[in-house]
Structure 1
């Protein structure tokens, strides 16, 4: 079958679930991964065809997409801040909003006097996307990353190798940690923050496939990770050290109040590209 003909079938099969543009983007992502062909190749060579074996592989992928399994998991990889990351069911798929948090930190450390020998800690690292992106883009930084999941850390270690950076990974439950044992210039975290009451807002492909351990917190204690990490930051950040968080868009006011009560200085709340309260920064005095 000609690839162009299969493309039409593929997109039509997915449009009851996804919009046509997203379905088409899936097709070309898979085409590049499985056959090393781009959109332009298909335009220049309209007679290119799939073998029966290839169609069987594509049909299997199509069935999984119809079950709303994320395409990143099907391909086993994704892109984040211009870098390639391996992803699987043990880690969250990195989001564009988190890229904004990484970009904020990199820009804050852009001057030579700010980035010489910085020690950075990423808490709840998952795939390692934050820690690895910072290690790649902040020269001379020592980067450490903590996660409670050994399986997540195994993925993060692979991603550090893929991107040729040195990150020290630590298997640790941050809620059971009383002291981080060393001082840091920057602590950053994108911890679980989705309340159970917000589950109905979560897309099925996320709810059914991504690790709930990294997503959800109890409704009556939604800031549990933020409070604990902020307490540790007070002990383990150097004077004027910076604490960065990705946050629940509905709890921006509460996050600022938490940091104010804990005597953080120069507190800033930022919106993401979608206009949602998404990031905070504060410094220890």
Structure 2
């Protein structure tokens, strides 16, 4: 079997699961993972013959893809902000729009360092609902002097995040806690920056989502009650009121259809300089809010 034959098999057999562009991207990723070839080489040598072992692996991956299982879970790894991350059904698969949130925070810290001078103390950062650890670890990797902590309610997610911190050779302080009910005996210090990509998908939103997300990714990391879609934003904002340092910053990834409502929630809590930002697709996906005493 040649590389071009794999593309044809995948095109025919998962075209009811993914559109043409997604199909090609997934096939390219599968072949690269199976053969160790670069994307450029795969495209340049479509007549290259695969080994028997590689052919069998390609067929096995295809069988899993036909069930709707995300390819990131099949191989157990993905890339986020240029870094490798292990993923499994305990954690959400990191999304490209979340990279934009990370970039915003890094830029914000860079601007702060220029303003106050490099001899000032470095930032302390908390990531709430860390999942795979992609936000916390990417921030620590790019802001090496920052003191980064991360919270999650899921033991499985925290184990995955700890493994990813080791994989990327960074130190992050991981805390097991429920942000909706933080126990008083858990000591959580104050931070300069709090960031979260919390659950925000409503059951109405679910109707528009692909089954490879709704059937495979962790339910509790995705969905919120239909009658209280801002549940986590309210809880995290309240937590931030008591756990942000003066002049602290709060960053959120949000439900694109609830941008104005989230801005109003934060304004009602007393946050200032609130900014609603669109992602590269032009959707309201990120919010910044400042806290000053």
1:128 aligns with: 133
2:124 aligns with: 119
1:31 aligns with: 31
TM-score, normalised by the number of residues in structure 1? 0.94
After superposing the two structures, state which structure 1 stretch, 219-228 or 112-121, moved more.
112-121
1:244 aligns with: 251
Q: Summarize deviations over 1:74-115 as a string: whole Å, max 9, x none.
A: 111111111111111110001111111111100001143378
1:254 aligns with: 261
2:160 aligns with: 155
Whole-Å separation in 2 of the counterparts to 1:269 and 1:161: 34
1:224 aligns with: 231
1:177 aligns with: 182
After superposing the two structures, state which structure 1 stretch, 172-181 or 275-284, moved more.
172-181
Q: Which of these residues, 193, 210, 234, is aligned with residue 203 of structure 1?
A: 210
Whole-Å separation in 2 of the counterparts to 1:44 and 1:269: 43
Q: Give the Å deviation of 1:47.
A: 4.9
Please tell me whether the aligned partners of residues 34 and 58 of structure 2 are also in contact (alpha carbons under 8 angstroms).
no
After superposing the two structures, state which structure 1 stretch, 70-79 or 45-54, moved more.
45-54
Give the 3-state SS of the residue equivalent to 1:270 in structure 2: strand
TM-score, normalised by the number of residues in structure 2? 0.92
Name the CA shift for 1:116/1:81 in 2 (closer, same or farther; >3 Å). farther
Name the CA shift for 1:45/1:110 in 2 (closer, same or farther; >3 Å). same
Name the CA shift for 1:32/1:267 in 2 (closer, same or farther; >3 Å). same
Residue 20, structure 1, aligned to residue 16, structure 2: no
Give the 3-state SS of the residue equivalent to 1:121 in structure 2: strand
Aligned-residue Cα RMSD (Å) equals 1.8
2:290 aligns with: 283
Please tell me whether the aligned partners of residues 78 and 87 of structure 1 are also in contact (alpha carbons under 8 angstroms).
yes
Please tell me whether the aligned partners of residues 177 and 183 of structure 2 are also in contact (alpha carbons under 8 angstroms).
no
Whole-Å separation in 2 of the counterparts to 1:154 and 1:138: 23
Q: Give the Å deviation of 1:220.
A: 1.1
Q: Which of these residues, 163, 166, 173, is aligned with residue 168 of structure 1?
A: 173
Whole-Å separation in 2 of the counterparts to 1:256 and 1:91: 27
Q: Give the Å deviation of 1:43.
A: 5.6
**Structure 2 gap segments, 5+ residues each:** none
Q: Give the Å deviation of 1:56.
A: 2.2
Whole-Å separation in 2 of the counterparts to 1:94 and 1:22: 16
Please tell me whether the aligned partners of residues 100 and 272 of structure 1 are also in contact (alpha carbons under 8 angstroms).
yes
